[in-house]
Structures are given as C-alpha cells and as structure tokens.
Amino acid sequence: MSDDFNMSMRKFLKQVGVTSQQAIEEAMREHDTSGKSYAVKAVVTIPELGVTHEIDGTIKGQE
C-alpha cells in the first residue's frame, strides 16, 4: 500500500480512537458507573465499498 494510503488510514483511526474515548469518558462521568460493565459496539462503514466492520466489547466503570 502507498504511503498516502497508510497515512490517511492512521489519521482516520487515530481520530476514531481519540474522539470515541472522549465521548465514552464524558458519558461515564455523567452517570454512576461504579462496578458496572457496559456492552459497547463500534461500527465502521465505507458505503461506497460495501464495507461494514463491527467490533463488540465491554467497558467496565471505575470502582
């Protein structure tokens, strides 16, 4: 893959990671999450390529 592709991919994934973490942390601060676990799903789509990628996981609140 080209350098331009790699750089644009890294930039996009960094943006996804940083903004997602900020949104999740903000939501966790607004609620009592002590000792609770939350199901989480991330979905990345590229409609023009017919790509949908889903990731499921769990996030635990701080104790």
Say how far apart CA 17 and CA 12 lie, in whole Å.
9
Residue type, 62: Q
* Predicted pLDDT of residue 62: 83
* Predicted pLDDT of residue 29: 92
Kindly list the domain boundaries of the chain, sorted by start residue.
Answer: 3-60
**DSSP one-letter code for 47:** G
Q: Residue 49 — very low, low, confident or very high, per pLDDT cuts 50/70/90?
A: very high
Chain-centre distance for alpha carbon 20: 5
* Predicted pLDDT of residue 1: 80
Say how far apart CA 3 and CA 48 lie, in whole Å.
22
pLDDT per position as a tens digit, 2-43 = 999 999 999 999 999 999 999 999 999 999 899 899 999 999
pTM for the model stands at 0.82
Residue type, 57: G
Chain-centre distance for alpha carbon 50: 20
